[in-house]
Amino acid sequence: MENMEEKKVLFSAIQPSGILTIGNYLGALKNFKKLQDEYKSIFSLADLHTLTVRQVPADLKKNTYELAALYLACGLDPERSVIFAQSHVPAHAELTWILNTVTYPGELSRMTQFKDKSIKHEDNINMALMDYPVLMAADILLYQTELVPVGEDQKQHLELSRDLAERFNNRFGETFKVPEPYITPSVGRIRSLTEPEKKMSKSDANENGYISINDDKDAIIRKFKRAVTDSDNKIVVSPEKPGITNLINIYSAFTGKNAKETELEFEGKLYGEFKLKVGEAVADVIDPLRLEKNKYLQDKDYLDSVLKRGAETAQYLANKTLRKVYKKVGLLPIARG
């Protein structure tokens, strides 16, 4: 951690809410290792966020280990990054309470994700679901974070984090750094393999629509073989060819070639051959990743020890900010001695 002082603080988190797709991989996990080199990086498992929709407790537990193992398989190094479970650091819930005192219900009920999830989970529209963005602001602000890698779907939440930081600072004096979005290199939206008009999603009822991190090589290749295309045989990016465009984007993202190079490489080739090549390119990355993750998963004691160590560092950093906040708002410190 040489020159730690000069590096900016970067915070990111993923929810342990089940299957991750190659969309999640490309949008977040793939960049983690590089971010770890360039920033003072903090990577959390956002388990408290996951509770905002109904969970089977045993599954949540399993998914949390899965995600921790996946972080490590992606190359995150507990010696260099802070890797921890959100619920292990009480300051996240504590700062959420304070931030709630400067948050208006209107700004939360207007959030796109809240509205979407309220439709999807209409039998369980709970207060925590609405408060989700405030918990996220607490995650970020506790570490005096400067940079937050965000995809399109979380931009609105980061904007709220910035508003809350500024509002608190204005009311109580300079306390929080105001975080900036870190624009992740765009991979283009990864779409469903069966309905390319839709985003690739793990909640898709049709398993052939998405590639999960847990798919093995055979499953990956089979799903790409079945991917929906169209009836002419041109491998080019075009709004009229959402299926082929999606496959080109996926191939580009996994091989590092751009769309033009990909088009040239497959000029005059048949769809069948192209689909196989896309499947192989994806499997070349995802298969080793899955095996590595499963190796980590076999050693729960090691995973526990990584999370324990991360929680200790995170608690130390978070409590520094929380103490400042409590003092600013006028809460009594605990008497010493």
Catalytic residue among 8, 62, 155, 199: 199
203: which residues sit within 8 A by CB, 6+ positions away?
none
Which one of 148, 283, 303, 318 is in contact with ligand LTN (CB under 6 A)? 148
Residue 75 DSSP class: T
Q: What are phi and psi of 27, to 5 degrees?
A: -75, -25
- β-sheet bridge partners, residue 82: 42
Tell me how far apart the alpha carbons of residues 155 and 35 are, in angstroms, rounded to a whole number. 19
**42: closest CA among 84, 74, 7, 79?**
84
C-beta of 19 vs 276, nearer to ligand LTN: 19
Q: With contact defined as beta carbons under 8 Å apart, do 127 and 101 qualify? A: no
Q: Which stretch binds ligand LTN (CB under 6 A): 134-142, 194-202, 266-274, 277-285?
A: 134-142
Number of residues binding to ligand LTN, judged by CB under 6 A: 12
Shortest distance in whole angstroms from residue 16 CB to ligand LTN: 10
Based on the shown chain and the rule CB under 6 A, indicate whether residue 138 belongs to the binding site for ligand LTN. Answer: no
Catalytic residue among 202, 217, 257, 324: 202
Q: Residue 54, SS3?
A: coil
Shortest distance in whole angstroms from residue 208 CB to ligand LTN: 24
Q: Which stretch binds ligand LTN (CB under 6 A): 5-13, 33-41, 103-111, 308-316?
A: 5-13
Tell me how far apart the alpha carbons of residues 286 and 12 are, in angstroms, rounded to a whole number. 21
Which one of 12, 212, 229, 246 is in contact with ligand LTN (CB under 6 A)? 12
C-beta of 54 vs 336, nearer to ligand LTN: 54
- Kind of pairing between the strands at 40-45 and 9-14: parallel
Based on the shown chain and the rule CB under 6 A, indicate whether residue 146 belongs to the binding site for ligand LTN. Answer: no
Catalytic residue among 117, 241, 275, 277: 117
Tell me how far apart the alpha carbons of residues 221 and 29 are, in angstroms, rounded to a whole number. 22
Catalytic, 117? Answer yes
Which one of 9, 10, 13, 147 is in contact with ligand LTN (CB under 6 A)? 13
Based on the shown chain and the rule CB under 6 A, indicate whether residue 11 belongs to the binding site for ligand LTN. Answer: yes
- β-sheet bridge partners, residue 106: none
Catalytic, 324? Answer no
- β-sheet bridge partners, residue 245: none
Tell me how far apart the alpha carbons of residues 100 and 264 are, in angstroms, rounded to a whole number. 54
Which one of 55, 100, 118, 154 is in contact with ligand LTN (CB under 6 A)? 154
Shortest distance in whole angstroms from residue 138 CB to ligand LTN: 9
C-beta of 74 vs 140, nearer to ligand LTN: 140
- Kind of pairing between the strands at 40-45 and 180-183: unpaired
In the chain, beta strands by DSSP E: 9-14, 40-45, 82-85, 147-150, 180-183
Which residues, 22 to 61, sit near ligand LTN by CB under 6 A? Answer: 46, 49
Distance of CA 139 to the CA centre of its chain: 13
Shortest distance in whole angstroms from residue 335 CB to ligand LTN: 34
Q: Which stretch binds ligand LTN (CB under 6 A): 122-130, 132-140, 194-202, 274-282?
A: 132-140
Which one of 134, 136, 297, 317 is in contact with ligand LTN (CB under 6 A)? 136
Q: At residue 115, what is the residue type?
A: K
Catalytic, 115? Answer no
C-beta of 84 vs 251, nearer to ligand LTN: 84
**148: closest CA among 23, 31, 307, 276?**
31
Shortest distance in whole angstroms from residue 205 CB to ligand LTN: 21
Instruction: List residues near ligand LTN by CB under 6 A.
Output: 11-15, 46, 49, 136, 139-140, 148, 154
Residues with active-site annotation: 117, 199, 202
